[in-house]
């Protein structure tokens, strides 16, 4: 359904229809109108974000489809979605479909090497504030330009991973060999160019796959090719305006910015597709491997910050991938999530009267990090969350937002002495200089905890329960 | 200095930076090679929640004729009009300007979002300032290794930053004045500032400890002894005696960072109070930098919003932005020893600071306070390439798919 032809009634049918007014509209119909006009967001309807309306939520979302098309690559549980962006800046709403990251393999790697790399990519995990951060796709590059070699590399890849595949070659014969080896897997075909668009367009239609369009530093050509391929019948495109590291970085981010602006602000349908960035290109300059890694690491984040919806990378090094997956997670967090969490006494596990009492600030990230660390340490305790106006421990101590008086107040307000039979409080290591004052003001004994909450498990196992004096 | 000399000097110092980076990288080469192996057995298998696997629909062949040639079209970028302009703030003063610096720097002046070069050129390239502390403080190992000989001598530390690491500015933090630390008296703190001013000829920023009363007392003394040097005081906050602080800044010819904690309304409120005394051209704003992974998302969006609001006409937000990028080191991934698969912290740290800085650079930050030489070198390199369009060499990337990669 074309976006402009959606009527409020289409949306209304899918809303809870309880006229509960929680969205501050008079009724669901008024809210539906606002949604269609994009004056309200789905999140403004609290019932709709409940689990039981998940299906309706999704259907409405599909109806209100964003100016950038959402593309699916792969099938099954690890299929990835990309694009679907509604806004240019995350503070305007939120970003969707956090940038999937592909790692490359080539058709000239040995089979063992390829299997090992593919499996390692599939298994990559970093645990970050209770979330598992992952890599998402395998990009098979034909460095041989040989259809047989490509076919067997793609076959090996799909047999050894459930990750979606990107088939990379500019040679249509090579691409077709890859497509045959990845039947039913819905790979992304990379890429149509001004020279091969008829053949690659045909392949995308025959094999029903999304197709990337590569027109480096030439937005006229990129738009022309997108228009032509759409006319040709290819519905799912991904656009590559070219990634130029270093000397070309200004052109690169300007191209991405102009495209994203035309998509989100002008709703230009011809180019309303996700954008692909290729940090891997830092490796093609024949620099030392570590220099290439270093440049790939920061180029990846720069591209994500400037609107890349999909990345292809080469480095499989922890120190390169860690900032990349964490920045991606940060960027795609809903910006409407508050900086501060509630100041309260949090119960973790099943604490009793002899359980430890810890303390942290109400800066959301500090709180979630501490909470995740305590949970992974598997200890039961009380956690006092002091209102530091959403500031982290170190800054709060320096800026006098975390003081002995505030700690003492929190202990009283939350009736901590009614919960435990000891009078010992464990404060963050970064608040160590407050310990004397806290003891004076509150009358509680202070134990100075670790500098970083990752040390809580060790700290508690060594120091709790405290030895009798 | 002629433009040519300037360029030569710049090129020379850039080569210097690159060598710091490559030294850093080569130093960890060996460890790195050991680290590439990931023990698959240690990693968890990913179970993704089922999201109703999409069965792709078969493309419906179109009845109408398929194109046989490219349907030529033009991409016309949408150019926006921005009613607002960010003010320019001058940092440091030369002899001719009443100070003793070899040159002064200007930040701000933007009339379009950062590096939207298709709309406007960048009027002033952002400035990077090196952090120097007035006492020995705990530092991440990766940083300490570069400055360990000067940790107790701020003047020597400042000199090292300028001579060896090419600092354009020095950001002196008077942490020892904190009543909870050493409670260094204003007189003595001012002496430290004088020593640093003598040791280097670049513009200086002077930071306090966060105690509103003590900072003001120290700033007053420092402002007086450095009259005319156009120091950048870091910072004035809502809980200080704002009027008095502003008067000191004004009377002795300095500039100030207005610091607020991730809240645009607070930033506006503080500026309104400062305007009662100070011209806009004396104020830089800092809406707080949080580390990659530890709140960078908030910092990023607040800065992006702040800059766009200023350009769209919010007169209380039309100031250059400052970032305490050193906060990147608060992220545990930047300094902690981790399992070998995550690489040495000596690399994780500076890349953490680099990514934090670069992403904020794109939101419009004009003044960076940084710490690691390799991170600074990286940002300088990128800044050099961000100056103008036209550097893209298509022949270098057009066959990237087929390129054989070693390593």
Residues of A in contact with B295 (CB under 8 A): 339, 363-365, 392
The answer, yes or no, to whether residue B15 has pLDDT greater than 70, is: no
* Distance between A251 CA and the closest CA of chain B, angstroms: 5
In a mutational test of the B interface, the residue from A204, A322, A454 whose CB has the highest number of chain B CBs within 10 Å is A322
The reply to whether A265 touches chain B by the CB within 8 Å rule is yes
| Residues 196-215 in A contacting B (C-alpha not used; CB under 8 Å) | 197-198, 205, 208
Residues of A in contact with B77 (CB under 8 A): 219, 258, 261-262
* Together in a domain, A358 and A323: no
pLDDT of residue B223: 98
| Residues 235-254 in B contacting A (C-alpha not used; CB under 8 Å) | 237, 239
Query: What's the mean pLDDT in A302-326?
Result: 98
Domain that holds residue A143: 70-331
* Together in a domain, A379 and A257: no
CA neighbours closer than 13 Å in the CB half-sphere of residue A68 = 29
pLDDT of residue B330: 87
| Residues 227-246 in A contacting B (C-alpha not used; CB under 8 Å) | 227-228, 231-235, 242-244, 246
Residues 6+ apart with CB under 8 A from A385: A341, A342, A343, A344, A345, A346, A360, A361, A362, A367
- Complex ipTM: 0.87
The answer, yes or no, to whether residue A441 has pLDDT greater than 80, is: yes
Query: What's the mean pLDDT in A64-74?
Result: 91
Residue B262 is classified by DSSP as S
The reply to whether B63 touches chain A by the CB within 8 Å rule is no
Distance in angstroms (rounded) separating the CA atoms of residues B158 and B132: 6
Distance in angstroms (rounded) separating the CA atoms of residues B236 and B216: 9
CATH number of the domain within which A12 lies: 1.10.15.40
Distance in angstroms (rounded) separating the CA atoms of residues A173 and A178: 9
pLDDT of residue B44: 35
Q: Please name the residue of chain B whose CA is at the shortest distance from the CA of residue A191.
A: B401
* A41 CB-contact burial (10 Å; exposed 0-12 / middle 13-18 / buried 19+): middle
Q: Please name the residue of chain A whose CA is at the shortest distance from the CA of residue B301.
A: A91
Residues 6+ apart with CB under 8 A from B107: B88, B89, B91, B124, B126, B127, B284, B320, B366, B367
pLDDT of residue B26: 63
pLDDT of residue A339: 75
Q: Please name the residue of chain A whose CA is at the shortest distance from the CA of residue B72.
A: A224
Report residue B241 as tokens: 């005696």
Query: What's the mean pLDDT in A76-81?
Result: 96
The answer, yes or no, to whether residue A177 has pLDDT greater than 50, is: yes
* Together in a domain, A35 and A134: no
Which runs of E-coded beta strand occur in B226-360? 232-236, 255-259, 283-286, 321-323
CB pair distance less than 8 Å for A365 and B294: yes
Q: Please name the residue of chain B whose CA is at the shortest distance from the CA of residue A430.
A: B330
The answer, yes or no, to whether residue A62 has pLDDT greater than 50, is: yes
pLDDT of residue B32: 36
pLDDT of residue B18: 57
Q: What is the CA radius of gyration of chain A?
A: 27
CB pair distance less than 8 Å for B405 and A142: no
The reply to whether A302 touches chain B by the CB within 8 Å rule is yes
- pLDDT, one tens digit per residue, over A16-39 is 999 999 888 989 999 998 887 667
Residues of A in contact with B62 (CB under 8 A): 233
* Together in a domain, A370 and A397: yes
CATH number of the domain within which A105 lies: 3.20.20.20
The answer, yes or no, to whether residue A347 has pLDDT greater than 50, is: yes
Report residue A431 as tokens: 């608040």
* A201 CB-contact burial (10 Å; exposed 0-12 / middle 13-18 / buried 19+): buried
* Together in a domain, A53 and A160: no
pLDDT band of residue A468 (cuts 50, 70, 90) is: low
pLDDT band of residue B162 (cuts 50, 70, 90) is: very high
Report residue A80 as tokens: 């990835």
Query: What's the mean pLDDT in A284-293?
Result: 92
- pLDDT, one tens digit per residue, over A353-378 is 999 999 999 988 889 889 988 988 88
The answer, yes or no, to whether residue A101 has pLDDT greater than 60, is: yes
**Does A259 reside within a domain?**
yes
pLDDT band of residue A176 (cuts 50, 70, 90) is: very high
* Together in a domain, A206 and A250: yes
| Residues 76-135 in B contacting A (C-alpha not used; CB under 8 Å) | 77-78, 115-118
pLDDT of residue A173: 98
The answer, yes or no, to whether residue A126 has pLDDT greater than 60, is: yes
**B25, B297, B392: residue with CB nearest A330:** B297
**Does A205 reside within a domain?**
yes
Q: Higher pLDDT residue, A8 or A343?
A: A343
The answer, yes or no, to whether residue B363 has pLDDT greater than 90, is: yes
**Does A293 reside within a domain?**
yes
Residues of A in contact with B393 (CB under 8 A): 244, 247-248
pLDDT of residue B17: 45
Distance in angstroms (rounded) separating the CA atoms of residues A380 and A369: 16
Report the range of poorest mean pLDDT among A88-102, B190-204, B227-241.
Answer: A88-102
Q: Please name the residue of chain B whose CA is at the shortest distance from the CA of residue A72.
A: B54
**Does A447 reside within a domain?**
yes
CA neighbours closer than 13 Å in the CB half-sphere of residue B32 = 22
The answer, yes or no, to whether residue A41 has pLDDT greater than 50, is: yes
What average pLDDT does chain B have?
88
* Distance between A263 CA and the closest CA of chain B, angstroms: 10
CB pair distance less than 8 Å for A128 and B212: no
pLDDT band of residue B5 (cuts 50, 70, 90) is: low
* Together in a domain, A108 and A233: yes
- pLDDT, one tens digit per residue, over B345-360 is 999 999 999 999 999 9
Q: Answer for the pair B41, A207: CB distance below 8 angstroms, yes or no.
A: no
* Together in a domain, A248 and A396: no
The reply to whether A462 touches chain B by the CB within 8 Å rule is no
pLDDT band of residue B42 (cuts 50, 70, 90) is: very low
pLDDT band of residue B6 (cuts 50, 70, 90) is: low
The reply to whether A414 touches chain B by the CB within 8 Å rule is no
Strand partners, B88: B108
Q: Answer for the pair B386, B364: CB distance below 8 angstroms, yes or no.
A: no
Q: Which of A430, A135, A372, A145 is CA-nearest to residue B138?
A: A430
Distance in angstroms (rounded) separating the CA atoms of residues A359 and A355: 13
The reply to whether B204 touches chain A by the CB within 8 Å rule is no
- pLDDT, one tens digit per residue, over B281-302 is 999 999 999 999 988 999 999 9
Query: What's the mean pLDDT in B126-139?
Result: 95
In a mutational test of the B interface, the residue from A290, A308, A311, A370 whose CB has the highest number of chain B CBs within 10 Å is A290
CB pair distance less than 8 Å for B402 and A143: yes
CB pair distance less than 8 Å for B308 and A285: no
The answer, yes or no, to whether residue A4 has pLDDT greater than 70, is: no
- pLDDT, one tens digit per residue, over B174-220 is 999 999 889 999 999 999 999 999 999 999 999 999 899 999 999 99
Q: Regarding beta strands A345-348 and A276-277, do their DSSP bridges make them parallel or antiparallel, or are they unpaired?
A: unpaired
Instruction: Give percent of chain B with pLDDT exceeding 90.
Output: 79
What average pLDDT does chain A have?
93
Strand partners, B105: B91
The reply to whether A368 touches chain B by the CB within 8 Å rule is no
* Residue matched to tokens 């298709």: B118
**Does A336 reside within a domain?**
no
Domains, chain B, in order of start with CATH, read 88-386 (3.20.20.20)
* Together in a domain, A179 and A300: yes
Report the range of poorest mean pLDDT among A202-206, A415-419, A431-435, B41-45.
Answer: B41-45
* Together in a domain, A39 and A105: no
CB pair distance less than 8 Å for A395 and B261: yes
**A76, A281, A331: residue with CB nearest B400:** A281
CA distances from A121 to A116, A125, A191 (A): 9, 9, 23
Q: Answer for the pair A134, A124: CB distance below 8 angstroms, yes or no.
A: yes
Query: What's the mean pLDDT in A113-131?
Result: 94
Query: What's the mean pLDDT in A102-110?
Result: 98
Residue at a domain's end among A282, A300, A331: A331
pLDDT band of residue B31 (cuts 50, 70, 90) is: very low
* Distance between A107 CA and the closest CA of chain B, angstroms: 10
The answer, yes or no, to whether residue B142 has pLDDT greater than 50, is: yes
* Together in a domain, A266 and A127: yes
pLDDT of residue A340: 83
The reply to whether A333 touches chain B by the CB within 8 Å rule is yes
Residues of A in contact with B390 (CB under 8 A): 250-251
Instruction: Give percent of chain A with pLDDT exceeding 90.
Output: 74
CA distances from A90 to A85, A93, A95, A291, A332 (A): 10, 6, 6, 31, 8
* Together in a domain, A280 and A326: yes
pLDDT of residue A395: 80
**B57, B66, B342: residue with CB nearest A322:** B342
Report residue A399 as tokens: 């800026």
CB pair distance less than 8 Å for B212 and A400: yes
* Distance between B403 CA and the closest CA of chain A, angstroms: 6
Residue at a domain's end among A299, A331, A363: A331
Helix (H, G, I), strand (E, B) or coil at B240: coil
CB pair distance less than 8 Å for B70 and A333: no
Q: Which of B368, B370, B331, B374 is CA-nearest to residue B351?
A: B374
CB pair distance less than 8 Å for A392 and B391: no
Residue at a domain's end among A273, A300, A331: A331
Domain tally, chain A: 3
């Amino acid at each position: 359904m074309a976006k402009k032809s959606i009527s409020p009634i289409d949306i209304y049918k899918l809303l809870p229809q309880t006229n509960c007014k929680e969205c501050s509209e008079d009724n669901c119909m008024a809210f539906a109108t606002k949604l269609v006009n994009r004056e309200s967001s789905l999140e403004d309807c609290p019932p709709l974000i409940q689990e039981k309306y998940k299906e309706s939520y999704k259907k409405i979302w599909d109806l209100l489809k964003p100016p950038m098309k959402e593309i699916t690559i792969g099938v099954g549980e690890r299929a990835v979605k990309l694009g679907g962006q509604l806004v240019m800046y995350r503070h305007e709403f939120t970003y969707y479909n956090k940038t999937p990251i592909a790692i490359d393999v080539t058709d000239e790697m040995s089979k063992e090497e390829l299997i090992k790399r593919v499996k390692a990519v599939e298994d990559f995990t970093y645990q970050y504030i209770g979330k598992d951060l992952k890599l998402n796709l395998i990009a098979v590059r034909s460095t041989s330009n040989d259809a047989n070699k490509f076919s067997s590399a793609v076959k090996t890849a799909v047999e050894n991973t459930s990750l979606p595949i990107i088939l990379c070659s500019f040679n249509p014969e090579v691409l077709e060999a890859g497509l045959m080896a990845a039947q039913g897997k819905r790979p992304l075909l990379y890429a149509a160019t001004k020279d091969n668009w008829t053949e690659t367009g045909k392949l995308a239609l025959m094999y029903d796959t999304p197709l990337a369009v590569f027109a480096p530093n030439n937005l006229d050509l990129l738009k022309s090719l997108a228009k032509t391929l759409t006319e040709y019948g290819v519905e799912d495109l991904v656009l590559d305006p070219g990634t130029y590291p270093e000397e070309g970085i200004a052109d690169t981010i300007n191209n991405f910015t102009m495209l994203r602006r035309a998509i989100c602000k002008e709703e230009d349908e011809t180019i309303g597709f996700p954008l692909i960035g290729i940090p891997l290109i830092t490796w093609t300059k024949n620099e030392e491997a570590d220099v290439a890694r270093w440049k790939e690491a920061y180029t990846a984040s720069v591209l994500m910050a400037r609107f890349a919806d999909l990345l292809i990378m080469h480095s499989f090094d922890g120190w390169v991938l860690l900032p990349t997956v964490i920045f991606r997670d940060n960027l795609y967090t809903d910006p409407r999530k508050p900086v501060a969490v509630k100041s309260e006494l949090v119960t973790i596990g099943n604490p009793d009267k002899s359980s430890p009492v810890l303390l942290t600030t109400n800066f959301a990230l500090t709180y979630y990090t501490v909470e995740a660390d305590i949970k992974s340490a598997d200890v039961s305790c009380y956690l006092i969350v002091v209102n530091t106006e959403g500031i982290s421990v170190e800054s709060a101590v320096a800026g006098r937002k975390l003081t002995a008086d505030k700690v003492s107040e929190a202990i009283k307000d939350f009736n901590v002495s009614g919960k435990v039979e000891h009078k010992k409080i464990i404060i963050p290591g970064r608040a160590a200089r407050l310990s004397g004052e806290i003891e004076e003001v509150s009358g509680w004994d202070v134990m100075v905890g670790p500098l970083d909450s990752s040390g809580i498990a060790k700290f508690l196992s060594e120091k709790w329960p405290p030895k009798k004096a | 200095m002629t433009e040519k000399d300037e360029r030569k000097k710049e090129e020379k110092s850039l080569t210097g930076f690159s060598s710091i980076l490559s030294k850093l990288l080569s130093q960890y080469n060996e460890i790195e090679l050991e680290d590439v192996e990931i023990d698959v057995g240690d990693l968890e298998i990913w179970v993704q929640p089922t999201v109703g696997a999409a069965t792709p629909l078969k493309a419906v062949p179109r009845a109408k004729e398929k194109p046989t040639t490219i349907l030529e079209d033009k991409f016309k970028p949408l150019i926006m009009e921005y009613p607002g302009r960010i003010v320019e703030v001058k940092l440091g003063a030369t002899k001719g300007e009443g100070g003793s610096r070899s040159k002064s720097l200007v930040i701000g002046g933007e009339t379009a979002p950062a590096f939207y070069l298709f709309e406007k050129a960048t009027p002033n390239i952002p400035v990077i300032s090196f952090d120097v502390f007035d006492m020995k403080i705990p530092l991440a190992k990766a940083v300490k290794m570069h400055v360990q000989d000067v940790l107790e001598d701020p003047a020597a530390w400042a000199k090292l930053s300028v001579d060896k690491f090419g600092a354009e500015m020095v950001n002196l933090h008077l942490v020892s004045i904190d009543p909870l630390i050493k409670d260094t008296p204003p007189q003595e703190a001012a002496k430290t500032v004088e020593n640093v001013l003598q040791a280097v000829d670049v513009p200086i920023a002077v930071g306090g400890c966060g105690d509103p009363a003590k900072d003001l007392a120290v700033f007053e003394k420092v402002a007086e002894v450095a009259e005319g040097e156009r120091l950048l005081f870091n910072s004035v906050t809502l809980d200080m005696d704002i009027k008095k602080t502003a008067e000191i800044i004004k009377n002795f010819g300095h500039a100030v960072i207005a610091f607020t904690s991730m809240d645009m309304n607070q930033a506006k409120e503080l500026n309104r109070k400062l305007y009662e005394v100070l011209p806009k051209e004396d104020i830089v704003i800092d809406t707080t930098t949080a580390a990659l992974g530890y709140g960078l998302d908030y910092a990023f969006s607040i800065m992006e919003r702040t800059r766009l609001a200023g350009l769209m006409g919010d007169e209380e937000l039309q100031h250059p932005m400052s970032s305490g990028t050193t906060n990147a080191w608060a992220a545990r991934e930047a300094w902690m020893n981790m399992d070998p698969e995550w690489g040495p912290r000596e690399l994780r740290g500076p890349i953490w600071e680099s990514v934090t800085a670069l992403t904020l650079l794109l939101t419009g930050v004009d003044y960076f306070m940084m710490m690691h030489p390799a991170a600074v070198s990286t940002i300088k390199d990128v800044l050099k390439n961000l100056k103008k369009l036209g550097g893209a060499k298509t022949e270098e990337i057009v066959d990237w798919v087929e390129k054989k990669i070693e390593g």
